[in-house]
Structure 1
Amino acid sequence: MRRLFFAVDPPDAARRDLDRALGPLRDLPGAPRWGRPERWHLTLLFLGAVPEPLVLGLVATAAPAVAATPPIALRLAGGGRFGSLRRPQVAWAGLEGDVDPLVALAGRLAAVARTLGLPVEDRPFRPHLTLGRWRPGRPADGTLTDRLAGYRGPEWPVREIRLWESRLGAAPAYTVVASWPLGAKDPLHAESGPTP
């Protein structure tokens, strides 16, 4: 079984800009456990455990779903939380720009996964970038992300969608399984990464 997810990776400049904006919040009381900027992804679909025999089919059937996506541009903007103010769970940054085509792509990727018999959460896709998580039972300030309300990062063109594998452990590792350029003329074209 492989833990897989589809994602858009913000470019380094966008990550650095958001990381600077988070600087004043990082060490405040009640802050979440912040994620490392180099691991920030805009997850389009988390699949959890995918049986090895289905991985090649997933890569092949995702290609046309990605190719149907027009060129899009995004920017990280604003912030929020999942969970209540008193018991926040996830701190996130929002998105602006061509969000509707991104939502449509996430829907097509979910449909691809369902055709392969993979379980997909039955809830609307809410585009966001997870910044950190609050630990249960620890002091938490759910208002911290409100301070990102006026944040607007640099806009960037989305050039590709990636299928990542996540390996849990003391030091979680991420490996690119495949990637597809947006709007590829050859919808079967996918760049495969290492698949140990």
Structure 2
Amino acid sequence: MSKTMNAHFFFAVKLPDETKKKLKEYMESVSLKLPFSRWVHHEDYHITLAFLGSASEEKLQKAARLIADSIRNEPSFTLHICKLGVFGKQDAPRIFWCGTQQAKHLHDLRSKVYSACQEAGFELETRPFKPHITLARKWAGTGPFQQSLLDVNSPFNNGHLEFEVSEVVLYQTHLDKSPKYESIAIFPLLAE
């Protein structure tokens, strides 16, 4: 894990390739109707558990050891993508996302990862955890964004897109690349 202090790091739930592909197909079908400035590369889809920012090698290794220990006996579980939403101003959102159903397993996993990162010395965001997969950033429409646009051909209304959460990943951000997130450590959950 020899990385620089200038890089940013975060722990996240990795999405399976098949789920990323389905989300990509959906995004391609709606991107003309939803003009956002930047669409996230499908390889970068994830659910953030703890954003670390820049970090020393020592703190990263300590967090990795603590997380490996704390989630060693966590079972894999299924999540259902069931809704679309936005963060920011309702008429000009900064983030367009899809979210999952409330899942105790996900919140428990996040709590363990978050606590391990704090124990390793990281100062983390204190906002409530709102699990989501960022799809696009910065509204670029000529008119105001309307919430009704999210219902356009949404495959998530019935929660029928599901995936298995089987690992937590430590990612490094490369702002000059696309996809921009590099997996530098993997922490598997127990197979069901």
Q: Which residue of structure 1 aligns with residue 99 of structure 2? A: 94
- Return the alpha-carbon distance in structure 2 between the equivalents of residues 106 and 136 of structure 1: 32
Pick from 171, 174, 182 the counterpart of residue 167 of structure 1: 174
1:94-129 deviations in Å (ceiling 9; x for gaps): 1137x2111121111111111122110111111110
1:45-124 matches, cutoff 5 A: 45-96=50-101, 99-124=103-128
User: Within 1, Cα distance between the matches of 2:105 and 2:80?
Assistant: 14
Unaligned runs of 5+ in 2: none
Distance 1:165 1:120, change over 3 A: same
Amino acid at match of 1:48: G
**Equivalent AA in structure 1 for residue 59 of structure 2:** L
SS class of match (1:50) = coil
Candidates 129, 134, 144, aligned match of 1:130 = 134
| TM-score between both structures, scaled by the size of structure 2 | 0.82
Whole-Å separation in 1 of the counterparts to 2:43 and 2:158: 19
Once residues 30 and 162 of structure 2 are traced to their aligned partners in structure 1, the CA distance between those partners, rounded to angstroms, is 23
Distance 2:11 2:40 in 1: 18
How many residues in Structure 1 have an aligned counterpart in Structure 2? Answer: 183
Shift of 1:33: 2.3
Moved more, 109-118 or 16-25: 16-25
- Which residue type is aligned with residue 61 of structure 1? L
Q: Please state if 1:23 is matched with 2:28.
A: yes
Does residue 43 (structure 1) correspond to residue 15 (structure 2)? The answer is no
Q: Secondary structure at the match of 2:11?
A: strand
Q: TM-score, normalised by structure 1?
A: 0.81
**1:122-164 Cα deviation digits (max 9, x unpaired):** 1111111000101589755243334336263432222211111
Q: Secondary structure at the match of 2:115?
A: helix
Summarize the Cα distance change of 1:17–1:136 in structure 2 as closer, same or farther, 3 Å threshold: closer
1:182 to 155, 175, 189: 189
Q: Per-residue deviation at 1:174? A: 2.5
Q: Percent identity?
A: 29
In structure 1, list runs of 5 or more residues that go unmatched: 185-196
Partner SS, residue 46 of structure 1: strand
Paired with 2:79 and 2:109, the residues of 1 have a C-alpha distance of 14
Residue identity in the other structure for 2:138: W
- Structure 2 residue aligned with 1:191: none
* Shift in CA distance, 171/24, structure 1 to aligned 2, threshold 3 Å: closer
Distance in 2 between the 1:170 and 1:150 partners? Answer: 33
Q: Distance in 2 between matches of 1:47 and 1:171?
A: 21
Alignment CA distance shift 1:136-1:16 (3 Å): closer
Q: Match for 2:120: what amino acid? A: L
> What secondary structure is seen at the aligned counterpart in 2 of 1:28?
coil
